[in-house]
Amino acid sequence: MLPANLIADLQGAFPPDRFYTDPVDCYSYAYDNSRKIFPPDAVLFPLTGEEVQHIVALCNQYQVPLTPRGRGTGTAGGSLPEFGGIALSMERMLNIISVDPANRVIVVEPGVLNQFVQDAAKPYGFFWPPDPSSAMFSTIGGNIATSAGGPHAVKYGTTREHVLGLKAVTGAGDFITTGCYTTKGVVGYDLTRLLIGSEGTLAVITEATLKLTALPSAIAGITAHFNDLSSCAEAIVNIMSLPQLPSALEFLDSGSLNLIRGRYPDMLPVNTIAMLMIEVDGSKNDILDAVSGILAACRTGGLIHANQVDDTAALWKARKALSPLLREIAPKKINEDVVVPVNTLPQFLHGLTQLSTQYHLHNVNFGHAGNGNIHVNLLINPDDPEEVTRAERCLDEIFDLVIQLRGTLSGEHGVGSEKRAFVTKEIDHTTLDLMKSIKHLFDPNNILNPGKLFPKT
């Protein structure tokens, strides 16, 4: 319940269509794609950085939690207002401030959708490489909050590599400007990278200067079908050992393929157990060499066939349909986007098979194999306590395997609330204490997205 004086202050500063207090109106901001529900006491829609600063100041004054959010497409619970308070929706900060082709820069507000950035950059011959499956709906602010990636991160990198600078309001209510407008700049600490992936726990982003990349002159697609998982994993290692990187390298296991067959029955051979969707881009000459090298790298013992394909759009349509399809076949999925070194993928995929068999769980795996970023999906019935317990034990062992292989617990979804209990598997206590000190420096009253990232103590 918000203090009456705070409500009065906010009603004086914001019109009713930008300040929700009715629980029915607020409910849409109670959840994200983790499907857990924590209703906020109110929702605010700022339009300017000055309004954000005013809101932060009031929340500090009244000690009220403030949870920034974009469109709620995250899967790790990062935008859930677990302690109530105010959900700060940035979705109406929609201005594309400038497009500067000479410097390959676009400056945007945090509510701008990823797809709108692509649409604005394309007429100039550029694009912004981060391409999560939610690109049509996710905001730039949300992409920055989790350092979103996507299929093309294998060649171009994640959000972290494509943000030059930020403007933000810290949890203490101070305006800060990080980074610079140029691609070179080493003055001071790199606060831009500190804010990227911080999930709204340090500051509220109000403006982002993004680095654009030239659109490739040509693109080619390849599909490779295998009759066993180990041969597919071997091919991934072979491909990533080539001098020229593919622009995308997606892996799908038998569970994923069966889901696609159900929706697109004529797309896949019936005997395919594992599959790679591969894309290369560049000049026409570069593509010819890359396709030839990749086809050769796919010739492992279990290869059924590998071919160049004409319709790459159909490939990505099928790939991006996977997450929604998983929702249709299971009441709940535990979705983890772990990352392991590429050369350990054969060992990791074998370990996943062993663990899912040991715990009698249905498991579907797919993801960005070129980064070693695998989306592990344990499909469970949440109304079966025994199955839920088995899934929790299985997940714990999966995380142990990831760390054993020198991997990381999240590649692009973030920690949020879903993975915070496991953070100490990856981060030692000394480093974690330093991170908590940084959090306190930026947000001394712990109003910004409290409870996220760090394990409960």
pLDDT band per the 50, 70, 90 thresholds, residue 281 = very high
Per DSSP bridges, beta strands 218-226 and 274-282 are antiparallel
**Residue-wise pLDDT tens digits, 268-280:** 788 899 999 999 9
- For 191-199, what is the mean pLDDT? 97
Tell me the per-residue pLDDT of 398-424, one tens digit each, with 9 for 90 and over: 999 999 999 999 989 899 998 999 999
DSSP secondary structure string for all residues of 266-332: TSS-TT-SEEEEEEEEESHHHHHHHHHHHHHHT--TTEEEEEEES-HHHHHHHHHTHHHHHHHH-SE
- Is it the case that residue 285 has pLDDT exceeding 80? yes
In the predicted model, what is the mean pLDDT of the chain?
93
Q: Each residue of 64-114: pLDDT tens digit?
A: 999 999 999 998 999 999 999 999 999 999 999 999 999 999 999 999 999
Query: What percent of the chain stands above pLDDT 70?
Result: 97
Q: Is the pLDDT of residue 192 over 80?
A: yes
What is the predicted pLDDT for the residue at 331?
64
Tokens of 44: 């605010």
pLDDT at 94: 98
Token look-up 């929609």 returns: 94
Where do we find the tokens 């677990």? 82
Torsions phi, psi for 219 (to 5 deg): -135, 140
pLDDT at 327: 65
Which are the contacts of 453, defined by CB distance < 8 A and separation ≥ 6? 198, 199, 201, 415, 416, 420, 423, 435
Report the pLDDT value the prediction gives residue 33, as an integer from 0 to 100. 86
**Could you report the per-residue pLDDT of 436-453, keeping only the tens digit for each?**
999 999 999 999 999 999
Confidence check: pLDDT of 52 > 70: yes
- Say what the pLDDT of residue 313 is: 77
CB burial of residue 453 (10 Å; 0-12, 13-18, 19+): buried
Tell me the whole-structure pTM to 2 decimals: 0.93
Mean pLDDT value across residues 209-236: 95
Q: Which residues contact 324 (CB under 8 A, 6 or more apart)?
A: none
Delineate the domains of the chain, giving CATH numbers in brackets: 4-89 (3.30.43.10), 96-214 (3.30.465.10), 218-320 (3.30.70.2190)
Q: How confident is the model at residue 329 (pLDDT cuts 50, 70, 90)?
A: low
Instruction: Output the pLDDT for position 436.
Output: 97
Q: Is the pLDDT of residue 330 over 70?
A: no
Instruction: Say what the pLDDT of residue 442 is.
Output: 98
Please give the structure tokens belonging to residue 232.
Answer: 């597919």
Name the pLDDT band for 189 (thresholds 50, 70, 90): very high
Using DSSP bridges, classify how beta strands 163-170 and 203-211 pair: parallel, antiparallel or unpaired.
Answer: antiparallel
